[in-house]
Amino acid sequence: MARSVFFSFDYDDIMAVNVVRFSDVVLPANRNLSFGDKSMYEEAKKTEGAIKRAIDSALKSTTVTVILVGLSTWRSDWVRYEISKSLERGNGLLVVDIDGVGPDPKPLRGASPLGNMMAAPWNNGEGFEIWEWNGNDRYIEFAMLPRVRNKDSARYPARFASGDAYRLDAKFDLRVHWTDAQGNFPDWIATAAGQAGFTQTA
């Protein structure tokens, strides 16, 4: 089954990101980008509301969010917003490292944003509180999207939607470097979708 994939990234890594986006293994049918090109990005970033609308629109009908990680991706509030909205959709999450990819200056290795975010399931199983690392000593409410409610598209297995708060990379643990992923990228996408509860036909 061809899946619609959302790519989340820090725009500072756009040259490496484009290597992934325009590779032979990322088919047009699977490409649903938050920002298709710089002119769209520049237009969208004029206001916070416009950025959110662009992200929300691009996420529609997607089942997997691929987070392309460079040195500072984990610091991006917009990447964290995209991850939070992906949780609201019920998307699978796949971290793909892009350090050393593309023309100079190539991105350096960075921490996964999923390691700096937590989800605290509601007791009724109908949503999550979203927390972020404050960069110092504790997790705090993610101000841009502090809670997400499960909607019709969210179908996470119980281990994602119940129990104690958890760091996202503890449950969404798929992480691979692009040089290793590109040979079987569709399989990684399928695995991320399956981890989130999607079947081959849903």
- Could you report the per-residue pLDDT of 91-116, keeping only the tens digit for each? 999 999 999 999 999 999 999 999 99
Could you read off the pLDDT of 28-69 as tens digits, one per residue? 655 555 554 555 566 666 788 888 888 898 888 888 999 999
Task: Show me where the domains of the chain are located.
Answer: 5-115+172-195
The three-state secondary structure class of 64 is strand
Kindly tell me if the per-residue pLDDT of 70 is higher than 60.
Answer: yes
Tokens standing for residue 147: 């809670």
Contact 69, 12 (CB under 8 A): no
Region of 197 on the Ramachandran plot (φ > 0 left; ψ -120 to 50 alpha; else beta): left
Could you read off the pLDDT of 129-145 as tens digits, one per residue? 999 999 899 999 999 99
CATH topology of domain 5-115+172-195: Rossmann fold (3.40.50)
The pLDDT of 171-183, averaged and rounded, is 95
Kindly tell me if the per-residue pLDDT of 5 is higher than 70.
Answer: yes
**Which pTM does this prediction carry?**
0.90
